[in-house]
């Protein structure tokens, strides 16, 4: 458990060092001349990474069922190291895209880690142990941008350091992590699993099973719109902050470390207490408008000092509402919970593809603050859909 959680932390740390800086790489490699759609290219880069993960995630999961967890993790980590080597040596925008797409294609570490932990955990400890992956992930998301900011201060190439961190994770896995899935169980577990996990079959299964449940449809709409609003925060923020506040890589990395810390504190400390005291409906009713308010605050911030409280409000609202929406949907459709959880993950993946494209187009063709106003609108749509779903559920009772 300690080894696999630490390797997950290192993998997330390496990527989180780079992710906030990708718009700067696009700006430097594509050029900033007239007519160069830098924001649109940055959006396409983020969407391409998410699309590769959507395609490869289920396949990597099935391959780990057939051949073991350890080979799957090692393959993912080798791909990550290769992608950072390419990124560190990228001399063109095309090479930058290749590096990011390779990392997305082999970025199924979290899927493999979840499967590994499920293998080695007893039934009564499985939920707790899986929750620890969220802690490791959150620490990586918070620490990565902070480390990237420090590297920018001392003029070290973040991609080179990220490559070293990813290589250390690979060596750790290869040296100390044993296989968790016995050979005699692999054929049984993989039998017939591939067709059921492919993403393209999910819409048909959802429409056939949930067509008579409009409240569930509204909750899924709220989940998608809320994810769309918050995921878009990262895609072009480097360009936005540079244009409005003259921020460099250092300040942008520090900002994302702050946002990650707010999200971790909200979900780890505030959410459990607030759920017991106020209940799910009130958390969603408060969280989604707070998310909209925070994004609007970023859009209209004329001074860099106002961006931090606005981002804290957005992270607080997102941390309260997004996990609660998923929990409410799972509770409402208890008899189809597996399908619904698959739908939630797929909607998050689709939002991760759509959000960078939406924010890139809004930044490029409307105004630098337009992506955050678009995110504000999505959060308000999510709030309206969730409210309508709760009205329907209450009427049924």
Give 224-244 as a DSSP string: HHHHHHHHHHHHTHHHHHHHH
The span from the CA of 51 to the CA of 54, in Å, is 5
Give domain limits for the chain: 1-175, 199-397
Q: For a pLDDT cut of 70, what percent of the chain falls above it? A: 85
Report angle CA 345, 349, 350 to the nearest 5 degrees: 115
pLDDT for res 35: 64
Can you give the length of the chain in residues?
397
The span from the CA of 67 to the CA of 69, in Å, is 7
- Across all residues in the chain, what is the average pLDDT? 82
Residue 33 above 60 pLDDT? no
- Which residue is it, tokens 């940055």? 42
Residue 191 above 50 pLDDT? no
- Greater model confidence, 230 or 244: 244
From 392, 388, 362, 360, select the one nearest 377 (Cα to Cα): 362
Contact present, 385 and 219 (Cβ < 8 Å)? yes
The span from the CA of 130 to the CA of 99, in Å, is 30
pLDDT band at 289 (very low <50, low <70, confident <90, very high): very high
pLDDT band at 290 (very low <50, low <70, confident <90, very high): very high
pLDDT for res 195: 42
The span from the CA of 130 to the CA of 140, in Å, is 16
pLDDT band at 209 (very low <50, low <70, confident <90, very high): low
The span from the CA of 94 to the CA of 323, in Å, is 37
Which pTM value belongs to this model? 0.78
pLDDT band at 317 (very low <50, low <70, confident <90, very high): very high
Reading phi first (left if > 0) and then psi (alpha if -120 to 50, else beta), residue 35 is in left
User: CA-CA-CA-CA torsion for 182, 63, 187, 115, nearest 10 degrees?
Assistant: 50
Residue 319 above 60 pLDDT? yes
- Does this chain's domain 1-175 share its CATH topology with 199-397? yes
Query: 48-63, pLDDT tens digit by residue?
Result: 988 888 887 777 767 7
Please, which residues have CB within 8 angstroms of residue 18's CB and are 6 or more apart in sequence? 84, 87, 148, 158, 159, 162
The span from the CA of 119 to the CA of 182, in Å, is 10
pLDDT for res 143: 86
CATH number of 199-397: 1.20.1250.20
- Which residue is it, tokens 């017991």? 276
| CATH T-level topology, domain 1-175 | Growth Hormone; Chain: A; (1.20.1250)
């Amino acid at each position: 458990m300690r080894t696999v959680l630490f390797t997950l932390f290192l993998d997330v740390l390496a990527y989180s060092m780079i992710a906030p800086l990708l718009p700067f790489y696009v700006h430097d490699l594509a050029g900033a001349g007239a007519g160069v759609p830098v924001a649109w290219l940055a959006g396409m880069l983020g969407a391409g990474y998410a699309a590769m993960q959507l395609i490869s995630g289920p396949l990597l999961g099935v391959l780990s069922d057939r051949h073991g967890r350890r080979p799957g993790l090692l393959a993912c980590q080798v791909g990550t190291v290769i992608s950072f080597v390419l990124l560190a040596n990228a001399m063109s925008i095309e090479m930058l895209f290749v590096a990011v797409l390779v990392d997305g294609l082999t970025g199924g570490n979290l899927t493999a880690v979840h499967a590994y932990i499920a293998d080695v955990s007893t039934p009564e400890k499985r939920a707790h142990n899986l929750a620890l992956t969220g802690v490791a992930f959150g620490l990586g998301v918070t620490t990565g941008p902070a480390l990237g900011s420090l590297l920018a201060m001392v003029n070290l190439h973040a991609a080179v350091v990220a490559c070293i961190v990813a290589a250390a994770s690979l060596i750790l896995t290869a040296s100390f992590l044993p296989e968790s899935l016995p050979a005699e169980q692999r054929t049984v577990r993989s039998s017939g699993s591939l067709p059921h996990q492919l993403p393209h079959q999910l819409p048909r299964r959802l429409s056939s099973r949930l067509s008579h449940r409009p409240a569930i449809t509204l909750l899924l709409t709220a989940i998608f719109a809320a994810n769309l609003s918050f995921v878009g925060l990262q895609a072009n923020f480097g360009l936005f902050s540079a244009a409005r506040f003259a921020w460099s890589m250092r300040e942008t990395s520090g900002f994302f470390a702050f946002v990650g810390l707010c999200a971790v504190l909200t979900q780890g400390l505030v959410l459990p207490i607030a759920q017991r005291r106020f209940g799910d409906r009130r958390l969603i009713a408060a969280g989604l408008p707070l998310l909209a308010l925070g994004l609007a605050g970023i859009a209209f911030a004329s001074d860099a000092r106002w961006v931090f409280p606005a981002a804290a409000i957005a992270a607080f609202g997102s941390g309260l509402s997004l996990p609660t929406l998923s929990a409410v949907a799972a509770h409402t459709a208890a008899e189809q919970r597996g399908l619904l959880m698959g739908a939630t993950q797929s909607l998050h993946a689709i939002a991760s593809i759509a959000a960078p494209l939406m924010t890139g187009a809004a930044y490029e063709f409307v105004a630098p603050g337009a992506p955050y106003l678009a995110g504000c609108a999505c959060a308000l749509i999510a709030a309206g859909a969730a409210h309508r779903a709760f009205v329907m559920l209450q009427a049924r009772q």
